């Protein structure tokens, strides 16, 4: 894959907020359990407190992550995940998109994300 193709793929991957939100959590914790990040991702998506996220919303985000976002990120070696255990970790390819994700973080609409430490 050419450098241009990789950049376009990275932009496409990071265009989806659920993917970015998952990656922000992974940068901080290095390894997460899918159930533990679903509520936070949903809260950021809806711009609501974690405590107000309902079961149906968590379920929708879970299904979206498991059936769409995690497989796409794994295809590009950004994350590794195991559905049986629920564990999700950053993979080697993450380093290629880290600078771009940091640029996204600085411009996110959710103030809590912008206040988080740099992804360096």
Average pLDDT, the chain: 92
The pLDDT score that the predictor gives to residue 38 is: 95
Q: 80-87 long-range contacts, Cβ below 8 Å, gap at least 24?
A: 81/34, 83/34, 85/33, 86/33, 86/34, 86/35, 87/31, 87/32, 87/33, 87/34
Q: Is residue 51 scored above 70 in pLDDT?
A: yes
Q: Is residue 40 scored above 70 in pLDDT?
A: yes
Range of the domain at 103: 3-115
Domain count across the chain: 1
Tell me the pTM: 0.91
Give the tokens for residue 102. 């940091």
Residues 6+ apart with CB under 8 A from 119: 24, 27, 98, 101, 102, 105
Q: Is residue 64 in a domain?
A: yes
Confidence of residue 4 (pLDDT cuts 50, 70, 90): low
- Supply the CATH number for residue 35's domain: 1.10.10
The pLDDT score that the predictor gives to residue 68 is: 96
pLDDT tens track for 72-96: 999 999 999 999 999 999 999 999 9
Q: Is residue 120 in a domain?
A: no
Q: Is residue 11 scored above 70 in pLDDT?
A: yes
Give the tokens for residue 87. 């564990």
Q: Is residue 29 scored above 80 in pLDDT?
A: yes
> 43, 50 in Cβ contact below 8 A?
yes
């Amino acid at each position: 894959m050419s450098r241009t193709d990789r950049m376009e793929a990275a932009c496409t991957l990071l265009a989806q907020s659920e993917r970015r939100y998952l990656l922000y959590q992974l940068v901080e914790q290095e390894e997460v359990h899918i159930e533990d990040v679903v509520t936070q991702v949903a809260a950021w998506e809806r711009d609501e407190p974690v405590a107000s996220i309902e079961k149906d919303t968590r379920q929708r985000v879970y299904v979206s992550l498991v059936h769409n976002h995690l497989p796409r990120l794994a295809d590009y070696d950004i994350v590794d995940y195991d559905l049986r255990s629920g564990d999700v970790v950053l993979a080697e390819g993450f380093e290629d998109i880290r600078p771009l994700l940091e640029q996204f973080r600085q411009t996110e609409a959710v103030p809590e994300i912008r206040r988080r430490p740099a992804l360096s």
